[in-house]
Homo-oligomer: A and B are copies of this chain.
């Protein structure tokens, strides 16, 4: 069975995965780049998706977690708010934030109530637009993933929907030591989430804390 995974989702101490207001100039609102500075400093980020192992960027625990983002992933599902700023649906030429060669390199499903025709980008990314529930989107993405896993790419609203529906097997969060005060909160409506997961925390010398939620194996009643 392919797994459903979340990677590198960065949140503030108060649980916000983005600030506000989100715009073309400020995709994360008043959070700016503060939630992701830890990632920009990693070798994973510095070398992009290439196999160029130049000695740039940190190579420790932050990098080890960051680079799991793409390994074994055959499709991504993202929310409309990740694909573009508010109102991108009104711009027929909008193709996402990432230029001609987006960093997904797989079929990528954008959840929106206003779907459009698929877009084939360079590097293997094909954007598909779906107006679907989490469970239905996962069925479509799973079929497209070629036996590999499906990544839920965010933003926080979509992640929360998939968590609430019990559809996430693995979640990696990065807690950044800032208090954002406002934005979109990850945790709302997820009381007791830890009951279905083994949770592990490890702090990094960079100041962030990595949290891993691994879904517990369901043991056989006769075992």
Contacts and interface: CB of A to CB of B under 8 A. Distances in A.
Interface of A: 13-15, 175, 177-182, 185, 187-194, 199-203, 207-209, 211
A207 B203 contact: no
Given A201-B207, A201-B208, A203-B202, A13 B187 contact: yes
A193 B179 contact: yes
Number of copies: 2
Nearest to A186: B14
Nearest to A212: B177
Contact of A179 (B175, B180, B194, B207): B194
A190 B201 contact: no
A201 B199 contact: no
A99 to B, nearest CB: 33
A188 B185 CA distance: 12
Contacts of A194: 13, 177-179
